[in-house]
Structures are given as C-alpha cells and as structure tokens.
Amino acid sequence: MPDRIELRAIAAYGRHGWFPHEREQGQPFVVDVTLGVDTRPAAASDELSDTVDYGILAERVVGVIEGEPVKLVETLAQRIADICLNDIRVEDVEVTVHKPEAPTTVPVGDVTVTIRRART
C-alpha cells in the first residue's frame, strides 16, 4: 500500500460546463488530489527530486482547470488524473472536482465528481 500525498482545495476559474453560459462566463472549480506514492526514497535522501513536487503539480492542475473547456466534470477529473499519473512515482490517484456554482434547479451547496485511477 503506497503512502499518500494530498493536495486539498486547489482553486481556479474555468469555463467548463454543459450549458453555453458556463463556457462563456466561467465559474470557480476546486480540486482535491490524493496521490499514492512510495515516499521512502525521499525520506531517506531528504531530497525534493526523490518525490512529487506538489507545488509544480498544483500549478499543472490549475493549468488544466483554466485550460481548454470541457462539457463534463468527469472529463475534467480525468484530465487532472492523467497529469498526476504522468509522474512515474505516482502509483495511483484520486481526484475530486468540486463545482460549487453548478447550475441546478434546486439549491445545492456543492457538486463533486470523484475518480480513482491507477497506473496500468
């Protein structure tokens, strides 16, 4: 079972959504990422190069949120998971995308989609 590195509440503004007004006006998105990583090499060396640089990863996640619009939160979550799994040290990832201003016909405090992916 791998160790975990978690990044919580990565926030950015994106233009994702099914409706044209979501893609035109945009809205806030918040992302949580949990990485399955063997942290023993970094613990032994005490070197950043032996682990996932979560600062750079957070920047990449924001780049996806602010990047090319998609219609579904599921697609956005998959793109973020793919970015995380690009680092060979990441064994698996859980991504939760929050869409707090999702258009609904009744009041909803938050809408989330959570996916789990592992290296194949």
Evaluate whether 37 touches 51 at the Cβ level (below 8 Å).
yes
99 is a catalytic site residue:
yes
Q: Which of 64, 92, 99, 107 is catalytic?
A: 99
Which residues does 117 contact at the CB level (< 8 Å), separation at least 6?
A: 78, 81, 82, 85, 92, 93, 95
Task: Report d(CA 113, CA 118) in Å as an integer.
Answer: 17
Residues that are catalytic: 99
